[in-house]
Amino acid sequence: MKYDMLILRFGEVTLKGKNRTRFENTALSHVRRLVAEFPEVEVRKEYGRIYVELHGLDADQVITRLKNVFGINSICLVKRAESVLEDIQAIALEFMHEVMERHGQEAIIPFKVSARRVWKGFPHGSQEMNHLIGTPILRTFPALKVNVNDPVVDLRIEIRQDGTYIYHEVVEAVGGFPLGSNGKAMLLLSGGIDSPVAGWSALRRGLEIECVHFHSYPFTSERAQQKVLDLAKVLAGFAGKIKVHMVPFTEIQTRFTQVGHDNLIITLMRRAMLRIATKLAEQHRAMALVTGDSLGQVASQTLGSMNVIGRATDIPLLRPLVMMDKNEIIDISVKIGTYDLSILPYEDCCTLFVPKSPATNPNLRIVEQIEAHIEGLDALIDEAVNHTETIVLRDEIDENNEHQESASVELKSDEPTTKLIDEDRWF
């Protein structure tokens, strides 16, 4: 069926009070950006909805993009009729013809009509319209069965003065809060499965994110760095643009191997990473850190480890995956398109110097004492921050409209290692 219009419905935004207009306008800007390349498309907003007039464009082209607009819960595919009874009945029958062709003419399909008279000047009330639309449908398709409580097809009729909107197909959208409406955070991004999902979850909750990646070049290959940039590029497809801060971590990591507490190397590394990420957050006006921690997944993600590691920063540490199991995280990574990249077998810095028995319940006092006796640790952290390189990644829309801000992100390739990265490490 050739649809005339899409109706985009907001989700949690509708629970907002005086700030609701700000959230809706943010989502509206996102929608307008995504459909800008379709000049025939017209976008307008009413309180609680966004209307996308297609003007002959195929709906699927537009829906593919709009279902990833954060803050939008559902998209209705609408056919418009003149607000005249005969026109409304004709379009309603057209819808049901399509339904019966899809299910078979003899299929017993529970259905109902849900009419709503928004324009009070229309001569028939809502209940009356249910009968006036339903009766000719039942006469045309006697196999249909009315079921007002659990219909398979709910034919919605919305009568307005400027036209009547008729629809029954609703496409689920991503939901959450509009992009950037809840501030900015720094995502600690690795090449694993979890942290890209944590980044997408943060975007979905209305955060703008910048990524922080720690590399140990030349111990880790440039292809490993390229893999992280490829993952960030996927996230940029949802956000439009993402900055990636590439932090040199080799010196700090090497220094930790010399302190004589191998079982605490991971704890020390992660605390140092949080300190660096916190400094970068202050520089870039971010108010929180986001990690891909999942409770109990690895030694550094036990409750005891997370407590000691988290004490290294004084800004909010957000762990959107903390209560998810691995299968749930993998399902999301497949859905958002990061899984195939995450399982590529390129090492990252945490595959180096990994102890045989990492501490699962480190003692905060002991860890702080060790850090206090590492000569020049603070200077090393400052040096890592100062030598951080920033790359800006854009989605296809921005790339078509603007020159890329950074130098090419294509890095020289090395031969891949054979080790499969099967767990996320957010550094």
Whole-number Cα distances in Å, 143 to 114, 211, 302 = 19, 56, 58
pLDDT score of 412 more than 60:
no
**Cα separation, 321 vs 329, whole angstroms:** 7
* pLDDT per residue as tens digits for the range 161-213: 999 999 999 999 999 999 999 999 999 999 999 999 999 999 999 999 999 99
SS3 176: coil
* pLDDT per residue as tens digits for the range 297-317: 988 899 999 999 999 999 999
Task: Specify the pLDDT at position 101.
Answer: 87
pLDDT score of 65 more than 70:
yes
* pLDDT per residue as tens digits for the range 67-89: 999 999 999 999 999 999 999 99
Residues 392 and 243: beta-carbon distance below 8 Å: yes
What is the token pair recorded at 165? 């909107």
Q: Which residues pair with 116 in a beta bridge?
A: 158
Which residue would you say has higher pLDDT here, 329 or 17? 329
Least confident of 208-222, 263-277, 281-295: 208-222
Task: Specify the pLDDT at position 401.
Answer: 65
Residues 78 and 59: beta-carbon distance below 8 Å: no
**Cα separation, 417 vs 200, whole angstroms:** 27
Task: Specify the pLDDT at position 352.
Answer: 63
Using only the alpha carbons of the chain, give its radius of gyration. Answer: 27
Q: What is the mean pLDDT of residues 50-63?
A: 95
Torsion of CA 306, 312, 317, 320, to 10 degrees: -30
Helix pair angle (364-372, 265-283), 10° resolution: 70
Long-range Cβ pairs for the range 120-128 (8 Å, 24+):
121/161, 122/83, 122/159, 123/85, 124/85
pLDDT score of 59 more than 80:
yes
Among the listed residues 402, 385, 384, the one whose alpha carbon sits nearest the alpha carbon of residue 393 = 402
Q: What is the mean pLDDT of residues 360-371?
A: 95
DSSP 318: E
Q: Is the pTM of this model over 0.75?
A: yes
Task: Specify the pLDDT at position 350.
Answer: 61
| pLDDT, the chain, mean | 89
Among the listed residues 144, 117, 125, 236, the one whose alpha carbon sits nearest the alpha carbon of residue 187 = 236
**β-pairing verdict for 208-215 and 184-188:** parallel
353 falls in which pLDDT band (50, 70, 90)? low
18 falls in which pLDDT band (50, 70, 90)? confident
Whole-number Cα distances in Å, 317 to 33, 235, 289, 322 = 31, 20, 5, 11
Residues 281 and 287: beta-carbon distance below 8 Å: yes
Backbone angles phi, psi at 157, to 5 degrees: -125, 115
Q: Which residues pair with 160 in a beta bridge?
A: 163
pLDDT score of 220 more than 90:
no
Residues 6+ apart with CB under 8 A from 94: 1, 79
pLDDT score of 407 more than 80:
no
pLDDT score of 416 more than 50:
no
Task: Specify the pLDDT at position 5.
Answer: 96
DSSP 205: B
pLDDT score of 256 more than 60:
yes
Q: What is the mean pLDDT of residues 98-107?
A: 82
270 falls in which pLDDT band (50, 70, 90)? very high
Q: What is the mean pLDDT of residues 100-120?
A: 89
Task: Specify the pLDDT at position 47.
Answer: 85
pLDDT score of 108 more than 80:
yes
pLDDT score of 414 more than 90:
no
